[in-house]
């Protein structure tokens, strides 16, 4: 009995030690193609997963994926359930108050899609009196408030997927989001049937410019530095361009 | 605890609270009117109407409100644009809003529960009173209007208060169809400021306060109508 207890204690200790040796990446469990999504068997796939694999190989570390809801990412990081937020989180000043970010690993270009009617352009002129669907508290929402709030009206959605649904059924006139998910939606049957790409909005670096980075706990500088070095190395070696080709017809950096 | 965000989000919060109250008022009022018809149909003699009403109540009490709402908004609502002429008609600005479908689903749901309660209350009215009314020569319609329904509503009053409170607590699901009610406002604040507890705490206080107000109002109403038990 005593031996059994000792064996158990050693096993537990080893498990605990093992748990510390890996880096836990928090990924949203809501689908956000092409960056993160799940295949039919529930395995995480996507551009950000490929980047994560490349970065982990560079770090020579074992990485595990932890599914977290979008609103739970920062609390999960702070309560040490995960070590890195790796989920298309834009680097904003508001978020920097709570967590630190690595260097950006991709730039989120913001654009709009709308019904297939041939009317192109996304300036205040085209948007006049229109309704624009935007996912709650994204950088696009902040951009909209600054540039379009006085000519068009905003409709908030919990996820960008729901706004696609409403765009297809004619309840809203535009969806304003990152180009990645927008172009991915336009590849689906629903998207091909109803909608077209209307264009990117005018850049506004103060709101959209900081890009997307990995989130780490405040003061976790060692991990942040290592991730930065790894991202740089993956980018320099050409691996970044290699797997990006599978998803985009442009350089997402 | 950090409540510094309240000031900058006050418009959103006030608007959200207004929408919550509006949805509650619409669904309770319209639902009650519908419930009266449902109850009359169930205690009446017409078998067709009785079965129709029974079926309605069973369906709406037997399915989750969330599914009813989504069936209406994502199901029915998705096909509406294909109805010829509807998109250009004056009704479209109303029909494209989630608020319309939210109010509709809440109303239909409330009517089903309320109809069953009212049916029970109507059956609880002492037969002697109805017979007395008939004896003095009142017509069936007059009995219903003057004796049967008023008595039944009085009997059901304590239960109505509970139903209205339950209805209030059902309203946050409307955020899932883009209605920025009070919960929706809290959700947005939570996403914007990354504060989890404070916005939820504020709306919790609001719901509790409103519940207290509703129960007090019904208490006053109960005291105002004399009932002999």
Would you state the pLDDT for residue A19?
45
Specify the higher pLDDT residue, B209 or A118. Answer: B209
Chain B: closest CA distance from residue A18 (Å): 32
Chain A hits for B184, Cβ within 8 Å? 156
- Per the CB < 8 A criterion, the answer to whether A195 and A167 are in contact is yes
What is the β-pairing status of strands A22-28 and A84-85? Answer: parallel
A251 within domain boundaries = no
A140, two tokens: 């696009």
**pLDDT tens column, B121-165:** 999 999 999 999 999 999 999 999 999 999 999 999 989 999 999
Q: Which domain holds residue B167?
A: 10-224
- CB-based contact A158 B78, cutoff 8 Å: no
Q: Which two tokens stand for residue B125?
A: 């009215």
Strands A212-216 and A131-135: unpaired
Q: What pLDDT, in 10s, does the model give residues B184-212?
A: 999 888 888 878 889 999 999 999 999 99
**CATH number for the domain harbouring residue B219:** 1.10.3720.10
Distance between CA atoms of residues B92 and A194, nearest Å: 19
Average pLDDT estimate for B67-78:
90
Q: Which residues of A8-37 are buried (b: 16+ CB within 10 A; e: fewer)?
A: eeeeeeeeeeeeeeebbbbbbbbebbbbbb
Kindly report the pTM of this predicted structure.
0.80
B98 in a domain, yes or no?
yes
User: pLDDT tens digit string along A130-153?
Assistant: 999 998 878 898 899 889 999 999
pLDDT at B190: 85
Mean per-residue pLDDT over chain B, rounded: 91
User: Is residue A17 predicted with pLDDT exceeding 50?
Assistant: no
Q: What is the mean pLDDT of chain A?
A: 87
Residue B3 lies in a domain: no
φ, ψ dihedrals at B68, nearest 5°: -60, -45
Do the Cβ atoms of A172 and A133 come closer than 8 Å? yes
Rounded to a whole number of angstroms, the distance from the CA of A40 to the nearest CA of chain B is: 24
For chain A, what is the domain count?
2
A137/B77 touch (CB, cutoff 8 Å), yes or no = no
Nearest CA in chain A to B188: A136
pLDDT at residue A20, rounded to an integer: 47
Asked if pLDDT for residue A18 goes beyond 50, the answer is no
Residue A250 domain-assigned?
no
Residues A103 and A220 reside in one and the same domain: yes
Residue B81: per-residue pLDDT: 76
- B178/A170 CB distance under 8 A: no
Give the mean pLDDT of A211-234: 94
In a domain, B5, yes or no: no
Question: DSSP readout, A157-199?
Answer: ESSHHHHHHHHHTTS-SEEEEEHHHHHHHHHSHHHHHHEEEEE
**Structural domain of A145:** 110-208
Residue A120 has pLDDT above 70, yes or no: yes
């Amino acid at each position: 009995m005593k031996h059994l207890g000792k064996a158990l204690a050693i096993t537990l200790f080893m498990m605990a030690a093992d748990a510390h040796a890996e880096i836990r990446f928090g990924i949203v469990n809501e689908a956000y193609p092409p960056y993160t999504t799940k295949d039919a068997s529930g395995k995480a796939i996507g551009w950000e997963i490929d980047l994560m694999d490349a970065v982990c190989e560079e770090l020579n570390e074992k990485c595990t994926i932890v599914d977290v809801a979008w609103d739970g990412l920062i609390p999960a990081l702070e309560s040490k359930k995960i070590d890195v937020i790796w989920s298309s989180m834009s680097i904003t000043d508001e978020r920097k108050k709570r967590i630190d970010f690595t260097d950006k690993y991709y730039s989120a270009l913001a654009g709009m899609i709308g019904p297939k009617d041939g009317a192109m352009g996304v300036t205040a002129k085209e948007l006049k009196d229109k309704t624009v669907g935007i996912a709650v508290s994204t950088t696009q929402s902040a951009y909209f408030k600054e540039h379009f709030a006085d000519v068009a009206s905003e409709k908030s959605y919990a996820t960008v997927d729901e706004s696609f649904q409403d765009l297809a059924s004619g309840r809203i006139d535009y969806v304003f989001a990152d180009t990645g998910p927008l172009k991915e939606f336009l590849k689906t049957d629903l998207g091909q049937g109803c909608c077209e790409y209307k264009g990117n909005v005018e850049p506004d670096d103060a709101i959209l410019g900081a890009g997307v980075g990995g989130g780490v706990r405040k003061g976790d500088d060692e991990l942040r530095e290592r991730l930065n070095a790894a991202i740089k190395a993956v980018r320099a070696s050409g691996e970044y361009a290699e797997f990006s080709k599978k998803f985009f017809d442009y350089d997402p950096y | 605890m950090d409540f510094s965000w309240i000031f900058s989000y006050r418009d959103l919060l006030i608007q959200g609270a207004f929408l919550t109250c509006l949805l509650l008022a619409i669904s309770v009022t319209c639902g009650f009117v519908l419930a009266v018809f449902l109850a009359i149909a169930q205690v009446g003699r017409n078998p067709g109407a009785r079965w129709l009403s029974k079926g309605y109540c069973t369906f709406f009490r037997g399915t989750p409100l969330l599914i009813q709402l989504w069936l209406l908004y994502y199901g029915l609502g998705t096909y509406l644009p294909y109805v010829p002429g509807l998109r250009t008609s004056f009704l479209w600005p109303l029909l494209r809003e989630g608020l319309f479908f939210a109010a509709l689903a809440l109303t239909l749901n409330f009517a089903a529960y309320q109809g069953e309660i009212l049916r029970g209350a109507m059956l609880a009215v002492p037969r002697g009173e109805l017979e007395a009314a008939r004896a003095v020569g009142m017509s069936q319609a007059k009995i219903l209007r003057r004796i049967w329904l008023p008595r039944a509503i009085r009997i059901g009053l304590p239960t109505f208060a509970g139903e209205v409170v339950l209805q209030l607590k059902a309203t946050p699901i409307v955020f899932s169809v883009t209605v920025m009610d009070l919960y929706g406002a809290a959700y947005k604040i939570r996403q914007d400021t990354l504060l989890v507890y404070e916005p939820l705490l504020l709306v919790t206080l609001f719901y509790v306060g409103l519940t207290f107000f509703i129960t007090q109002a019904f208490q006053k109403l109960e005291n105002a109508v004399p009932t002999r038990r």
